[in-house]
Amino acid sequence: MFGPKTLLNPFERYTEGQLLTVGISAGIAGSLLAYVFNGRFDGVVDLHFLHQVAWHEPFTDNLIVLICLLAPLLLLGKYINSKTRIIDITTAILIARIPFLVLPLFNINGYMQRLAEEITRSVGEGAMNGSTTLEFTLGGMEMVGLIVFAGVSILAVVWSITLLYNGFKTASNAKTISHKVLFALAIIAAEMLSKIVILKMITHS
Partner 1 sequence: MKPKLPIHCPSCAETLNVSQLSCSHCGTAVAGNYTLPVLLRLSEDEQQFMLDFFLCSGSLKELAVKMGNSYPTVRNRLDDIIAKIKAMNEANNK
In the list 7, 12, 79, 148, the residue contacting partner 1 (rule: CB under 8 A) is 12
State yes or no: residue 163 binds partner 1 (CB under 8 A): no
Of 85, 114, 180, 195, the one binding partner 1 by CB under 8 A? 85
- Extended strands (E) in 61-196: none
Angle, vertex CA 64, rays to CA 58 and CA 65, nearest 5: 90
CA-closest candidate to residue 93, choices 34, 200, 19: 19
Instruction: Give the interface segment with partner 1, choosing from 23-31, 32-40, 80-88, 97-105 (CB under 8 A).
Output: 80-88
Q: Does 173 bind partner 1 (CB under 8 A)?
A: yes
* Shortest Å distance, C-beta 137 to partner 1: 52
Member of 88, 95, 112, 165 binding partner 1 (CB under 8 A): 88
The reply on whether position 200 binds partner 1 by CB under 8 A is no
Stretch that binds partner 1, among 13-21, 102-110, 111-119, 182-190 (CB under 8 A): 13-21
**Which whole-number Å values give the CA distances from 95 to 78, 138, 142, in the listed order?**
20, 36, 31
Residue nearer to partner 1 on the CB measure, 120 or 173: 173
| Of the candidates 106, 103, 102, 89, the residue with the CA atom closest to the CA atom of residue 163 | 89
E strand segments, the chain:
39-40, 48-49
| β-sheet bridge partners, residue 40 | 48
